Amino acid sequence: MERQNWIAVASADHARRGCAAEAGYMQVCHGKAVPLKRVHAGDRVAYYAPATTMGGKDKLQSFVSIGIVQPGEPYAVDMGGGFVPFRKDVVYVPAHQASILPLLPQFEFVESLQHWGYKFRFGLFDISDHDMQLVAQVMQVDLGLLYF
C-alpha cells in the first residue's frame, strides 16, 4: 500500500499533548474512530493548529507537529467524564512550529487563496507528497526521518 500524507486539525494545546514524549498518538474529529481507519502504518501526519486553545480566537494558523503513524488499529482511551476518544500511535519527529501562511500559494491542495481554510473544517484530509514535503521543510524537519 502506498504511503499517504495527512493534515490533522486540532488546537496547538491538544496536538502537543499527543506528541509529548510519553504519549505519541493522534486523535481527530473529537475522538471519532472512523476517520482514523483511513490512516495506515507508515503514513505521515502533520498537525495544523488554527489556534492555541480549543475554540481560541488567537489565530495561531501554524503547523505544530509532524510524525509517522505506527501499526495498529484505532483504540479507545477513557479520559473520564464519559469521554472515550479513539487514537492511533504516532512517532513524532523533532520539528519547529511554523506558520501556514507563506505556504498557501505553493500548496497543491489549496484551490483558492481566498477560501484556503475550507478543507481544514473536515479535521483530517490527505495531501500530496509535494505538500507534505513543504510542511516538513518549513518545520525544519530532517527529511530522512520522514522517509522522503
Q: How does residue 64 score in pLDDT terms, banded at 50, 70 and 90?
A: very high
> Which top CATH class is 5-143?
alpha beta
| Rounded percentage of the chain residues whose pLDDT exceeds 90 | 68
Closest C-alpha to 65, from 37, 25, 92: 92
Confidence of residue 148 (pLDDT cuts 50, 70, 90): low
Secondary-structure percent of the chain, ordered helix, strand, coil, rounded to 5: 25, 25, 50
Average pLDDT over every residue of 49-53? 89
How many other C-beta atoms are found inside a 10 Å radius of the C-beta of residue 67?
24
Owner of C-alpha cell 475522538: 31
Q: Is the pLDDT of residue 1 over 70?
A: no
Give the confidence band of 56 by pLDDT, cuts at 50, 70, 90: low
- What is the number of residues in the chain? 148
Where along the chain do its domains lie? 5-143
| pLDDT of residue 125 exceeding 90 | yes
Sorted by sequence, the CB contacts under 8 Å of residue 41 that are 6+ apart come out as 69, 70, 71, 72
Residue 140 predicted with pLDDT over 70:
yes
Cα 7 from Cα 64, distance rounded (Å): 11
Whether pLDDT at 49 is above 90: yes
Output the pTM of the full model. Answer: 0.92
Using DSSP's 3-state secondary structure scheme, residue 21 falls into: coil
**Cβ contacts of 148 within 8 Å, gap of 6 or more:** 129, 133, 136
Over the stretch 67-121, which tens digit does the pLDDT of each residue have? 999 999 999 988 888 888 899 999 999 999 999 999 999 999 999 999 998 899 9
